[in-house]
Structure 1
Amino acid sequence: MGKLIAIDFGTSNTLIYTKGKGIIFEEPSVVALDVNTKKVLTVGKEAEQMIGKTPTNIKVIKPLKYGSIDKFDIAIKMLKMMIDRTKEGNKFSKAFSKASVLVGVPSSITQVETRGIEEVIYESGAKKVVLVKDVIADAVSLGDNVYKPSISFIVDIGGGTTDVAAIALGGILSEESIKIGGYDIDLDIIQFIKKNYNVEIGELTAQSLKIDLADVMLSEDYSMDIVGQDLASGLPVHIEITNNEIFNAIRVTVEKMISTIKKVIENCPPESASDILSNGITLVGGGSRLKNIDKLLESELGISANIVAEPEYATINGLGIMLDHIDLVSSMVLEYSTREIINTKTRSSTSD
């Protein structure tokens, strides 16, 4: 049997997991491209550090958008370079050509987008590709028996999408997915500062503001000094931003997330209400680190919400667990989990 590999090919980050070794690669899904030669100069962290600082012949690109392929050829080049840069190096690159690869995808993915992701993985050398909805992998990562009658209610806030699902009896009882995630919150912050201060900031500054200032419950008052470009003079300028301002900047996006969660709950059958109330909501994905998002959901919905430890690894760890059953997994995992993927309580994710 060839190597068994799991990939979380996300809008923000790409993670690669191999059976027996755990996560062997984790870097941003970013490419630095020479626009004249079309050559990929670097990927991942090195490329991300170039954002907003490149000369005219270099362009920094994110080839995935909202969890699907936006720049096909660049995505292939990026993944191939990432494969070469894993901890196992050249040995892993050779093994990938014989590998069976399990890939997590958003719930909202279309057939065209599905084919796009499959083609990127195949073009990167894989022998077999199987796609699994992120929310199924998330539930498996929690140690949940996804074939139990009791409901697992998952909210996965990623970089490009927010997926919400109620999972029970081996399938998805109710689900919704919106193309809104952590990246949209960054854009909200950029646009707010541009509108209110006539100052332009970059993506990395916006991310810092999100991490340090974004608080969806405004539990206390604090501020942060940043540097941006004054659009009137073109010169660098210092401005002080408060958490109240960031709250107002991201409020509409957060409300859309909450509305989506409410919709999934409302679409569940009445008999599921007791399970949802007793089991609560499980938050995964890097976006669930938004300060006090769990408390806001509890306040808005009257249902307990819990953020898992290291939420950004839930999908990849779930996919890693599922590697033990990859030969039994069919394309049905895009709609349902398979009966074989139920013995997860006795397993914990492996690590390096």
Structure 2
Amino acid sequence: MAADKIAIDFGSAQTKIYKLGYGMVLSEPTLAAVTAGEKSSVRAVGKEAKKLVGKTAEKTKIVSPVSGGEIVSDKVAVSILDEFLKKIEYKSGFGGGKALVSVPCGADGNFLKRYEAVLADAGIATADFVYAPILAAIGQDLTLTEFSPYFIIDMGAGATDIAAVSMEGVIAGVSVSAGLNKVDSALIDFIAEEYGLQIGILTAEKLKIQIGSLMENDTLSAVINGRDLTTGKPRSISLSSKNIRKVLCDFYDTVADIALKVLAKLPPEVSAEIRHAGIYLSGGGAKIYGLEEYYLKKFGMPVNVAANPDMCVAFGGGIALGNPDMLKKIKIKND
């Protein structure tokens, strides 16, 4: 029995799996509902676990095994991956199965060994690892060669990868634990301080998606519900994009500042090529309204936002799966 060929983007917030010959077969939250105690167990994963956020009893916690791009709970990671592989009816074949897996910039030998152990416990015997910004570039249909560098900013939930890449690999890059999860936390703190209202993480996420905008005069608005911090009673307030814009700007300014530092370290020839082609944005963070115009002012060069930014890395993995020569060039040599 032949094994399926899959590409996995195991993110802090969302896991995507691409199966060669089928396309994108899974996109679910990287979450598990875990019962605390000596004999802890996983009650639910993915979409079912997210439904329980903010609604569980004290003994059950909703957790993600990935933080800042790194696996922080092997046991939970294995449980989630095992369940996801069952959902897509993954066939490991006689050799135990193989996958292409995206990893953040700077992932070292120890990082990869931990991933290998988790994958093995989930039923995947061997894996090829590729840096996420390279896959993000491929997923945007950019033609990678040794002579055509591209500058990628891939903004995920737990981490942001910023790198100049070519077919030879990462020319210069960094992975930082500045992701969209920090925006959600910052919104919770901001609304508590400014409006005396305590909201949950799902409300913050929904608010960001519905009215989050970097445009100064955006008129989007939404009503949110929460708990009054003074009376303890339920209360609703109406917020506009302008009300929360500073929280968003703080995050995107931080990412831009780091990106400018990476750009400043590039060789002159690479810098010239990138200035002509511009910056390419991917990841869930690239979906915010007004980002293209906002970053055009920040960087002073073309800004290209992917059509399906949160799927770029997984799509890139799928393309690489179908091109063995390309995969041989871009995979991390972990000798």
TM-score for the superposition, normalised by structure 1: 0.88
Uncovered stretches (5+) of structure 2, i.e. residues with no partner: none
Alpha-carbon distance in 2 for matches of 1:52, 1:326: 44
1:22 maps to 23
Query: Which deviations, in whole Å up to 9, do the C-alpha atoms of 1:265-298 show, x marking residues without a partner?
Result: 1111122333222211111111100111111110
Q: Which amino acid aligns with 1:138?
A: A
The amino acid that maps onto 1:249 is: V
Evaluate the alpha carbon distance shift between residue 48 and residue 68 of structure 1 in structure 2; reply closer, same or farther with a 3 A threshold. same
RMSD: 2.2
Question: Could you tell me which residue of structure 1 aligns to residue 72 of structure 2?
Answer: 70
Q: Does 1:49 align with 2:58?
A: no
Whether 1:81 aligns to 2:79 is no
Aligned counterparts of 1:243 and 1:23: Cα–Cα separation in 2: 33
User: Residue 117 of structure 1 aligns with which residue?
Assistant: 115
Counterpart residue identity of residue 34, structure 1: T
Task: Return the letter of the residue paired with 2:32.
Answer: V
- In structure 2, how many angstroms separate the alpha carbons of the residues matched to 1:272 and 1:140? 18
1:112 Cα deviation from its structure 2 partner: 3.2
Mark the CA change 1:318 to 1:328 in structure 2 (over 3 Å): closer, same or farther: closer
Identical positions, percent? 30
Residues 168-227 of structure 1: CA deviation (Å, up to 9, x unaligned): 352222212211111111111111112222321111100111112221232323432110
Report the alpha carbon displacement of residue 94 of structure 1 after superposing the two structures with TM.
5.2
Partner Cα distance (1:207, 1:26) in 2:
17
Question: Do the aligned residues in 2 keep the contact of 1:11 with 1:65 (CA within 8 Å)?
Answer: yes
The 5 A counterparts of 1:194-213 are: 194-213=192-211
User: The residue matched to 1:174 in structure 2 has which SS?
Assistant: strand
How far is 1:44 from its partner?
A: 0.8
| Counterpart Cα distance in 2 of 1:28 and 1:273 | 37
Separation of aligned partners in 1, 2:314 and 2:17: 8
Structure 2 residue aligned with 1:9: 10
SS of residue paired to 2:100: strand
CA distance in 2, matches of 1:42, 1:239: 33
Q: 2:278 corresponds to which residue?
A: 280
Query: Please, which moves more after superposition, 49-58 or 218-227?
Result: 218-227
**Tell me, which stretches of 5 or more residues in structure 1 are unaligned?**
337-352
Question: 1:306 corresponds to which letter in structure 2?
Answer: N
The AA in structure 1 aligned to 2:86 is D
> How much has 1:31 moved relative to structure 2?
0.5
With 101-110 and 184-193 compared, the bigger mean Cα shift is at 101-110
Rounded to whole Å, the distance in 2 between the matches of 1:131 and 1:96 is: 21
Q: Assess, with a 3 A threshold, how the Cα gap between structure 1 residues 231 and 146 changes in structure 2: closer, same or farther.
A: same
The answer on whether the counterparts of 2:92 and 2:98 sit within 8 Å (CA) in structure 1 is no
* Counterpart residue identity of residue 79, structure 2: K
Find the aligned partners of 1:97 and 1:34 in 2 and give their Cα distance: 34
Residue 257 of structure 1: how far off its partner (Å): 0.4
| Structure-2 residue corresponding to 1:349 | none
Higher mean displacement: 265-274 or 74-83: 265-274
Secondary structure of 1:6's aligned partner: strand
Confirm or deny: 8 A CA contact 1:17 1:24 kept in the other structure.
Answer: yes
148-157 vs 110-119, which moves further: 110-119
Q: CA deviation at 1:2?
A: 3.0
| Candidates 246, 249, 253, aligned match of 1:248 | 246
Question: Which residue, 130, 133, 156 being the options, matches 1:132?
Answer: 130
Contact kept? 2:4, 2:91, Cα under 8 Å:
no
- Tell me by how many angstroms 1:34 deviates: 2.2
Give the AA of the match of 1:112.
N
Q: Structure 1 pair 271/328, CA: closer, same or farther in 2 (3 Å)?
A: closer
Deviation at 1:332, TM superposition (A): 7.1
Alignment correspondent of 2:295: 297
Letter in 2 for 1:114: L
Number of residues of Structure 1 aligned to a counterpart in Structure 2: 332
Q: For the Cα contact (< 8 Å) 1:177–1:260, is it kept in 2?
A: no
Q: CA deviation at 1:252?
A: 2.1
Q: CA deviation at 1:309?
A: 1.0
Q: Which amino acid aligns with 1:147?
A: T
1:35 lines up with 2:49 in the alignment:
no
5 Å-filtered alignment, 1:153-232, equals 153-168=151-166, 170-232=168-230
Note if contact 1:172-1:335 (Cα within 8 Å) is conserved in structure 2: no
For residue 322 of structure 1, what is the aligned residue in structure 2? Answer: 320
Q: Is the alpha carbon distance of 1:301 and 1:277 closer, same or farther for their aligned partners in structure 2, counting shifts above 3 Å? A: same
Distance 2:171 2:242 in 1: 38
C-alpha distance in 1 between matches for 2:97 and 2:31: 24
Cα 1:227–1:127 shift into 2, 3 Å: same
CA offsets, 1:43-98, max 9 Å, x none? 11111111111122321111111111111111111111111122x3xxx2554972
d(CA) in 1 for partners of 2:114, 2:234 = 41
> What secondary structure sits across from 1:309 in the alignment?
coil
Residues 157 and 288 in structure 1, CA contact (< 8 A), matched pair in contact too:
yes
- 1:259 paired with 2:257, answer yes
Measure how far apart 1:228 and its partner are: 0.8
The whole-number CA distance in structure 2 between the counterparts of 1:97 and 1:192 is 52
CA distance 1:225–1:175, change in 2 (3 Å): same
